[in-house]
Amino acid sequence: MKKDYVVMTISVIAIIIALFALFRAPTGVAPIEKSTFDNILEKDEIMVCYMTWPPSVIKDPNTGKLSGFMIDIFEEVAKDADLKVKYTESTWGGFPADLNTGKCDAAIAGIYPTIGRSTSVSFTKPFFYAGNSGVVKAGETRFKTIEDLNKNGVKIAVIQGEYGHIYSQKYLPKAQLVVLEKGSDNTAPLVAASSGQADAGLIMSDVVSEYVKLHPEVKDLFAEQPYSTTPIAWATRQNDQELLNFLNNGIDYLKSVGFLDATAKKHSPAGWYGLKQEYVVLS
C-alpha cells in the first residue's frame, strides 16, 4: 500500500513538472531575431510541408518523387527567387503543428482555408477553387441533388474536417454521417459507398472523377456540376507576414503570365476552377 502511494506521488509530481514545463515554455517557435523570410533568403532555402492529394501533390509510390500542379507552381515561385525547396511530408491533421513548431515555413496542397484554421495559421489568397462531389451506387435512383441526401436513414461517409464533413453538418442535418479519420487515404468516403457502408461518399471532385473511372459500382452524383466549390490556398505561420506577402506576390505574378492556368490544364484536375482576370475600359 505504502509503495503504491510512493508511485502515485512520483507520477503526479512528474506530470506536474511536465505541465509546468509546458506552460512555462514559449509557445510556437522559439523567439528569433530575424524573420522567417530573412532566414529563407539567408539560406537560399525554403522548407515546405506537403500533403499528398493527386493531382495537386503526387508522391510517386515507387521513387518518392514529387509532382503535381501545386509542386510545379511552388517550384516556379521559388525558382524566380533563386530558392531551393526542401520538402517534408506532413499530414492533414498535423500541418498546422508542423508550421508552428518550425518543421516547415509553408504548407502546400489543396488546402481549404477555414475560419477555424485561420486562428492557428495564415493563408495566402485563394488561387484556385476546387469542386466538391460525391458518389452513390451506380443503380441508385433516389438521389439527384445534394438536398436529396438530407433524409433520415441516409448514411453519408465524409472525412473528418474535410469540406464534405463541414457542409454535411451544416446543410444535411437529417442524414447520418459516417465520419472517417483524415489519414493519407483520400478515397475512404468513396470506398465506404462502394462497399455499402454508406449510401453516399463526399469528397473533392478530382478524387471522385478518378475513382469512378476505376469503380463502375458507383457513379459521380455531381459529374456535371459540383454541389459547391471551396477556395484553395497555401498556409504559413501566423506571424510570417513577409513570407505571406512573397507567396501572394508570386501567385499574382504567375496568374498574370498565365502560368497557373497552364499548369492546372497540364494536370487537368476535374472540378477545379481558376480565377478569371476581367478587364474593363476605364474611360
Partner 1 sequence: MVVYTWDFSVIFTYKEAILKGTLITLELTFFSIILGSILGMRLCLMKLSKNPILKYPAIAFIEVFQDLPLLILLIWLFYALPPLFGIHISAFLTALIGLSLNLGAFSAEIFRAGIISIPKGQRESSIALGLSKYQTMKDIILPQAKRVIIPPLTGRYIETIKLTSLASVIAVDELLHSGQNLISVSYRPLEVYTIIALLYLAIIVPLTLMLKKLEKSK
How far are the Cα atoms of 59, 149, 216, 239, 254 from residue 119, in angstroms, in the given order? 29, 32, 41, 11, 28
Q: Which is nearer to partner 1, 7 or 257 (CB)?
A: 7
Q: How many CA atoms lie within 13 A of 183 on its CB side?
A: 6
Q: Which is nearer to partner 1, 172 or 188 (CB)?
A: 188
Rounded to whole angstroms, the Cα distance separating 33 from 201 reads 48
Rounded to whole angstroms, the Cα distance separating 240 from 246 reads 10
Q: Which is nearer to partner 1, 57 or 244 (CB)?
A: 57
- Supply the minimum distance, in Å, between the C-beta of residue 31 and partner 1: 11
DSSP strand E in 106-263: where? 106-111, 121-123, 128-137, 155-159, 176-180, 200-204, 218-220, 228-237
Rounded to whole angstroms, the Cα distance separating 212 from 8 reads 56
Is 16 a binder of partner 1 (CB under 8 A)? no
- Supply the minimum distance, in Å, between the C-beta of residue 88 and partner 1: 8
Question: In this chain, which stretch among 36-44, 154-162, 170-178, 215-223 interacts with partner 1, using CB under 8 A?
Answer: 215-223
Residue of 84, 169, 196, 265 that binds partner 1 (CB under 8 A): 196
Is 31 a binder of partner 1 (CB under 8 A)? no
Residue 8's φ and ψ, nearest 5 degrees, are -60, -45
- Supply the minimum distance, in Å, between the C-beta of residue 104 and partner 1: 11
Q: How many CA atoms lie within 13 A of 166 on its CB side?
A: 14
Which residue in 247, 9, 3, 270 sits closest to 132, CA to CA? 270
Helix, strand, coil percentages, rounded to 5, for the chain: 40, 25, 40
- Supply the minimum distance, in Å, between the C-beta of residue 154 and partner 1: 17
Residue of 1, 2, 5, 25 that binds partner 1 (CB under 8 A): 25
What is the pattern of x (binds partner 1, CB under 8 A) and - over residues 145-174?
------------------------------
Instruction: Say how many residues make up the chain.
Output: 283
Is 216 a binder of partner 1 (CB under 8 A)? yes
Is 61 a binder of partner 1 (CB under 8 A)? yes
Rounded to whole angstroms, the Cα distance separating 124 from 278 reads 21
Residue 118's φ and ψ, nearest 5 degrees, are -65, -15
Is 102 a binder of partner 1 (CB under 8 A)? yes
Binding to partner 1, residues 223-282 (CB under 8 A): none
- Supply the minimum distance, in Å, between the C-beta of residue 262 and partner 1: 23
Q: Which is nearer to partner 1, 150 or 238 (CB)?
A: 238
Q: Which is nearer to partner 1, 156 or 207 (CB)?
A: 207
Footprint of partner 1 (CB under 8 A): 3, 6-7, 10-11, 14-15, 21-22, 25-30, 52-54, 58-64, 89-91, 93-94, 97-98, 100-103, 183-188, 191, 194-196, 207, 210-211, 213-217
